[in-house]
Amino acid sequence: MNDQVSRAKQSARLIIETRYPDCDAALLAGSFVRGQATATSDLDLIVFNESVADSYRESFTSDGYPVEAFIHSSTTIREFFRQDRERGRPSIQRMVTEGLVLRNHALLAPLKAQAQTELLAGPPVLSLAEADRARYFLTDLLDDFIGVTDRTEGLGIAARLLEQATDFRLRTSGHWTGQGKWLIRSLAIVDPVEAKRLTDAFEAYFRLDEKQAVIGLLEQWLDAQGGRYFEGFSIGK
């Protein structure tokens, strides 16, 4: 354990002792645990208290760190497992799996085992209707990108397109997706070649206003799932 992680863990333990002295268990998760912390990284804490009926989160600073604390019981966190699995974005499973134990309790072992099992199993397979919906909305946004001539509008469309296309690639391929920094990171984990193609293509647009690499790549991704989709799509009918 390096000095950065050791200091973070020491500060996290102090938070648990002073702010949550009656908790049953606690974990330190996030970028410090993964060795990816930056100057602005916060301490992500999961605090277990079996007496709480509803989960909640708190944000505060301590010992120079910004802190995000997620307070759960073993029941409420399992509900978050379910929600994250359904949306294909395993934020809480990842935090529980990787979390360093700050205060131990018998409830942790089965929760860690469940979180790891769900991570390894992957998300639910998209239904045909869900895949078609994703294909339609990516087609629609890609057409907006192709047609836009105003640079300012193009930047906004491209930002949305980067997120939507990455999510499309991951979910239609049966993989977990992510949010923020975990979106591209999730693609890089399962397909580093396509992740680099994606970043290179969007770099060409953002830096040089060149669209073709983005268009060509996303059309390939659409083709792999049946191609562009517009004619015949219906929702809410």
The answer to whether 134 and 61 have CB atoms below 8 angstroms apart is no
The answer to whether 124 and 117 have CB atoms below 8 angstroms apart is no
Query: How far apart (Å, rounded) are the C-alpha atoms in residues 41 and 210?
Result: 34
Which secondary structure element, helix H or strand E, spans residue 28, and what is its range? Answer: strand 25-29
Query: How far apart (Å, rounded) are the C-alpha atoms in residues 179 and 177?
Result: 7
Query: How far apart (Å, rounded) are the C-alpha atoms in residues 11 and 163?
Result: 35
Q: Closest Cα partner for 12 from 24, 20, 22?
A: 20
State which residues of the chain have pLDDT below 70: 1
Query: How far apart (Å, rounded) are the C-alpha atoms in residues 68 and 41?
Result: 10
Question: Which runs of consecutive H residues, i.e. helices, occur in the chain?
Answer: 3-19, 31-34, 74-87, 91-98, 108-121, 128-147, 151-172, 181-190, 192-208, 212-223
Residue 50, exposed/middle/buried by CB under 10 A (0-12, 13-18, 19+)?
middle
Query: How far apart (Å, rounded) are the C-alpha atoms in residues 229 and 12?
Result: 50
| pTM (global) more than 0.85 | yes
Residue 166 pLDDT: 98
Sign of torsion over alpha carbons 28, 33, 39, 40 = negative
Q: Closest Cα partner for 166 from 188, 148, 133?
A: 188
Residue 39 pLDDT: 86
Residue 1 pLDDT: 58
Angle between helices 181-190 and 151-172 (to 10 degrees): 50
Give the phi and the psi of residue 198 in degrees, each rounded to 5.
Answer: -65, -50
Query: How far apart (Å, rounded) are the C-alpha atoms in residues 72 and 74?
Result: 7
